[in-house]
Amino acid sequence: MIAEALLYAATVPVTLKAHRRFIRYSVNLWSRAGRCSRQWAEHEERSKDAVRSAMAGLRQRRTAVILGSGLLRDVPIEELARTFDTVVLVDLVHLASTRLWLPLKGYKNVRLIERDLSGYDDLAASGQPEPLAFLRNVPYLDFVVSANLLSQIGRGVKRRFDAEQNGTMPADTVAQLIGAHRSALEAAPCKTCLITDVSYAVIDRTGKVLEEADLLHGVSLSSVQADWTWPVAPIGEESADYQIVHKVVAAY
């Protein structure tokens, strides 16, 4: 708990005030990733492999944008920084540990942007969400990765939607914004790679499925090239009686 508290405290002053309430989610993820590093290793490597495969045929490697860069455990940041002129990491929160690690590794061509990628405010204001419209202003853009972000957008949007008191948002807000992210990637004028968990299952020690859910709220994906499972919460992480396993796909 001491390490988590120190990381939280160090991240607060380097995070935009509007995004500080999300720091605890990033710190909790950092903590769980450390505890579950062995169980998460295959998922992280397969995510990296999907990015490597997607960028393998690129003729130009000027600017790459990583949406939902997070802890950088599931993207091949070394290869990206080595082969692209500029790498832009976009997320709500960049932990202080990540901010320190990048320059220590000598990644001078990596840029950090804090941004809400959900599109919720656009939908509320105009009814026309364009969560990735900012990509049109990125010069020499050759590659975009959405890295294990899409279901997190869905979870965050659902929490916000459920907390709304005025009831002005459309009933299908979650599905709309998940679909807007997918459609924006499909329309991007460059190569893209979408990695996302699409469903989860709660499984007991006997292998019985206790609960299942669609994390994309009915939104379908095309061009899926690979899929695998990710033990997000192995037995003993949330309960001694069950594990939580997500299905992950990569589309590129």
For a pLDDT cut of 70, what percent of the chain falls above it? 100
Q: How far apart are the first and last CA of the chain?
A: 39
pLDDT one-digit tens code per residue, 142-152: 999 999 999 99
Which DSSP category does 219 fall into?
-
pLDDT one-digit tens code per residue, 66-110: 999 999 999 999 999 999 999 999 999 999 999 999 999 999 999
The backbone torsions φ and ψ at residue 198, rounded to the nearest 5 degrees and listed phi first, read -110, -20
pLDDT recorded at residue 107: 97
Give Cβ neighbours of residue 1 (< 8 Å, ≥ 6 apart).
Answer: none
Answer whether 0.85 is exceeded by the pTM.
yes
Is the separation of the CB atoms in 15 and 113 below 8 Å?
A: no
Question: Average pLDDT for residues 154-172, to the nearest whole number?
Answer: 90
pLDDT recorded at residue 162: 92
Is the separation of the CB atoms in 197 and 231 below 8 Å?
A: no
Is the separation of the CB atoms in 115 and 163 below 8 Å?
A: no
pLDDT recorded at residue 168: 86
Question: Average pLDDT for residues 45-56, to the nearest whole number?
Answer: 98
Domains of the chain by start residue, with CATH: 2-251 (3.40.50.150)
Question: Average pLDDT for residues 171-200, to the nearest whole number?
Answer: 97
pLDDT recorded at residue 167: 77
Residue 165 pLDDT greater than 90, yes or no: no
Distance between CA 135 and CA 20 in Å, rounded?
24
Which DSSP category does 166 fall into?
S
Weakest mean pLDDT among 40-49, 62-71, 157-166, 177-186: 157-166
For a pLDDT cut of 90, what percent of the chain falls above it? 96
The tokens describing 68, both together, are: 């939902």
